[in-house]
Amino acid sequence: MSAHAAKKCQLRLYIAGSTPNSARAAENLSAALDRVDGSREALGLEVVDVFAAPRRAVTDGVIVTPTLIGLHGSGRTVLIGDLTDTGKLHGLLRSLLAPA
């Protein structure tokens, strides 16, 4: 898997403006990307603010915020919440880095 191909946005974080849960999720994700080696370089991150782009929430099937979606091939892993559960967050990042 080339780094270039992996850059094709494998992580999407849906937040609701700067609400406390969303702000915390953004911070926690940023910290995790620093902690998990190579993740920031390998995984492309798109942050979607549902207040700014509400139609994305409906089309992408986002029910709650914050929601982190990890895309891998045809499947996707959904992690909801403010990402304070670092164990689950790191696990998700690692599974995306691991070769299919």
Partner 1 sequence: MCKHPTFIAGFDEMSLGGLPSQRLSLIVGGPGAGKTVFAMHCLVHRLSALGEPGIFVCFEETIPRLRSNLASFDWNIGAIGDDGIAFVDARIGADTLRGGAFDLSGLLAGLGALRADIGARTIVFDGIDMLLGHLDDGRLEQQEMARLDEWAVVQDVSVLLTAKAFGQSERDQRWSARLQYMTDCVVMLEMAATETTSSRAVRIAKYRGSDFAANPAPAVISGAGFEIVWLRSDRLDYPTFSDRVSSGIDRLDASLGGGYIKGSSVLISGAPGTSKTSLCAAFTAAACARGGKVLFISFDESGAQIIGNMRSIGLDLAPFVQQGLLVMASQFSCGRSPEEHFLAIRDLIRTHAPACLVIDPMSALLKGEYHFATMVCESVLDQAKSRGITALCTSLLEHVDGELELSASHVSTIADTWIHVSYVAREGERNRAITIVKSRGTSHSRQVRELLLSSTGIDLCDVYAAEGEVLMGSARQQKEAELRRRQVELDVSHRRFGLQAEREIVELQARVEAATRELDWKRREAELVATLEAERQDREREAHRFRVDMRLPPAERGSDLREHGPA
Residue 44, C-beta contacts closer than 8 angstroms, at least 6 positions apart: 6, 7, 8, 9, 10, 11
User: How wide is the angle at C-alpha 14 spanned by C-alphas 95 and 67, nearest 5°?
Assistant: 55
In the complex, the smallest distance separating the C-beta of residue 91 from partner 1, rounded to whole angstroms, is: 9
Region binding partner 1 by CB under 8 A among candidate stretches 1-9, 38-46, 76-84: 76-84
Write out the two tokens for 72. 């891998």
Rounded-to-integer distance, Cα 41 and Cα 34, Å: 10
Q: Binding of partner 1 at residue 30 (CB under 8 A)?
A: no
> Which string of x and - marks every residue 42-71 that binds partner 1 (by CB under 8 A)?
--------xx--xxxxx--xxxxxxxx---
Q: Site residues (CB under 8 A) for partner 1?
A: 14, 16-17, 19, 21-22, 24-25, 28, 50-51, 54-58, 61-68, 77-85, 88-89, 92
